[in-house]
Amino acid sequence: MTATPQSLDMLQIAAAAADAKGGEDLVALDVSEPLPLVDIFLLVTGRSERNVAAIADEIEDKLLEAGHKRLRREGRQESRWVLLDFGDLVAHVFHEQERVYYGLERLWKDCPVVPIQLPARAGAEE
C-alpha cells in the first residue's frame, strides 16, 4: 500500500504551511504499510515553543481551509511536540530537543521517504 493522492495533496498543503512559518528539517514518511489507518507522517522542527505553536496553527488552519477535517490535536498547550491528526496525514511539530529525543525517523526508518515540494520563496537565490 502507498500514500493516496489525497494524502499527498494534504502533505503539500501542510509542508507549505510549515515552511511559511519557519519550520525546519521537514521529513515525510509513508507509514501506510505498518499503519493501515494513516498514510503519511510529516515531521517538522521549530526553534522555540512559540515557533512550534505557530507552525502547528498554520498547518491546522491551511488544512481546515482546504476542507480537511482534524480528528485530534495534542500538545498545543506546552508546544514542545504538537501532534495534528488529519486521518490520512499526521503532522508532528517538534521543538528541536524533543525531535532528537523521540527520534521518530529512527523508529520508522524502514518506511519510505515521501518527496516534499516546497513553494519557492520570494527573494530566494537561484
Percentage of residues of the chain with pLDDT beyond 70: 94
**Rounded average pLDDT over 70-87:** 95
What are the φ/ψ torsions at residue 29 (nearest 5 degrees)? -120, 135
- Confidence check: pLDDT of 92 > 80: yes
Q: How many CB atoms lie within 10 A of CB 113?
A: 11
Handedness of CA 77, 24, 6, 57 (dihedral sign): positive
pLDDT for residue 126: 43
pLDDT for residue 121: 65
Q: Look at residue 114 and tell me if it is in a domain.
A: no
Q: Give the chain's domain count.
A: 1
Q: What residue numbers bound the domain in which 24 lies?
A: 5-107
b (16+ CB within 10 A) / e for 10-29? bbbbbbbbbbbbebeebbbb
Asked if 70 and 64 count as a contact pair (C-beta separation under 8 A), the reply is yes
Higher pLDDT, 120 or 114: 114
Mean pLDDT, the chain, whole residue set: 92
Render pLDDT for 43-78 as a digit per residue (tens, 0 to 9).
Answer: 999 999 999 999 999 999 999 999 999 999 999 899
Q: 48 - beta bridge partners?
A: none
Q: Look at residue 75 and tell me if it is in a domain.
A: yes
CATH number assigned to the domain comprising residue 21: 3.30.460.10
pLDDT for residue 36: 83
Q: How far apart are CA 58 and CA 44, in angstroms?
A: 12
